[in-house]
Every structure is written in C-alpha cells, then in structure tokens.
Amino acid sequence: MASENEKKIDQTSDAKIRKIVMAAVFAALTFVATSVIKIPTPTLGYIHIGDTFVILSGICLPPFIGALAAGLGSALSDLLGGYFIWVPGTFVIKFLAALAASLLYRGLKKLYKEGKYAPSRVIFAGIASETIVVIGYLLFNVIILAITEGAVSAEGLSAAIAASAAEVPFNLLQGTAGIVLSVLAGPVFTRISGKELQQ
C-alpha cells in the first residue's frame, strides 16, 4: 500500500501534469481562435476572436501559466500567419493581458460568494485585459512604423502615431467581442479547469 506521503506526491504530480496539459489546450484554443476566423481591416490588420481565450487563459489557469499560454498561442498565430514582425510584441502584449485578467479576477474573489460564477467579475477582468491590448498594440505599432518607415523626425513620428491610432477602433471592437464571448463561455471553461487548476 502507498503511504500518505506517496499519495500526496502522486496528487501533486497529477496536478502539475494537468496544469501543463490545460495550458497547452488554452494555447491551442487561442491560436485557433486567432488564426481561423480573420476579418481584414482597412489598416491591413485583422479582427479575430482570439482575445476570448486570452481572457479565459488568465481566468482559468494560474496567473503565470495562463499568461504564457495566451502569449504563446497568440504569437504562434502571427508567426504562422506571416506577421513575423509582430511576434515579439504580440507575445508580450497578450502575456500581460492574460496576466492582468488573472490578477484582477482573483483580486475580486473576496467580493463574490465562493464558487459562484459572476459575469461582472469576468467583465472587469476582460476590461483590464483589453485595455492592455489596445494600448500595447498602439505603442508597438508606433515603434514598428518608426523603425520601418524611418520616422525619426517630429513629422514622421506624428504620422506613425496617426496611422497607429487608426487601428484603435478595430482593436476596441475586437476587445469588446472578446469580453462578451469570454463571459458567455466562462461558465463552461471555469468548470472544466476546476478550482484546483486555477490556483
């Protein structure tokens, strides 16, 4: 018969394996949701529903693991989609977005009954997440344009900021869709991940 210590070790090992598996699942879901349904925008970008799983990665997994899954899944979509220059920015932005969702979602836990699913909690987490996405892509786009277009002058920088700002409404639309879908899908995915996985 296995001792109590052996059982605890087995349970800990099983929990770690399950977290790794679920992180891979969320990374894959983020990748698919980002790369399969693409709606082109006039600014040469595209709108997708991948932010749904960026938010859910933060909510359903431990903070760092969820952030890593969101960052990897999103960056992989850019890499395989031919948006090579965006890969590092996307990884950092989506990593931070999922991390923000995770920390705020957990921070609001005390305001709600234990175990009760609260859509408002997901909404607040989603707003924090998407704020980082919108601001992050605005700044990264300015940097990319400044580098590729050689916008070293005041005029060049102003043009880069104006061009980057044109993308903001589309990112806001994408973010809103991501929040709405994460609220709708939240009960399913939080149940699948389980409380022990979210720690």
**Amino acid 17: pLDDT:** 86
Write out pLDDT tens, residues 27-58. Answer: 999 999 999 888 887 776 778 999 999 999 99
Q: What pLDDT is recorded for position 159?
A: 77
List the domains of the chain with CATH numbers. Answer: 11-198 (1.10.1760.20)
Phi, psi at residue 118, to the nearest 5°?
A: -120, 110
- Secondary structure (DSSP) of the chain: ---HHHHHHHHHHHHHHHHHHHHHHHHHHHHHHHHSS-EE-TTS-EE-STHHHHHHHHHHS-HHHHHHHHHHHHHHHHHHHT-GGGHHHHHHHHHHHHHHHHHHHHHTGGGS-TT---HHHHHHHHHHHHHHHHHHHHHHHHHHHHHHTT--SHHHHHHHHHHHHTTHHHHHHHHHHHHHHHHHHHHHHHHHH-HHHH-
pLDDT, residue 196, reads: 46
Nearest-angstrom CA–CA distance, 42 and 99: 30
pLDDT along the chain (199 residues), means of 10: 55 78 96 90 81 96 96 96 92 98 90 74 96 96 80 70 87 95 92 64
Q: Which amino acid is at 139?
A: L
In this prediction, residue 59 carries a pLDDT of 93
What was the pLDDT predicted at 157? 75
- pLDDT at 158 (0 to 100): 79
* Amino acid 33: pLDDT: 96
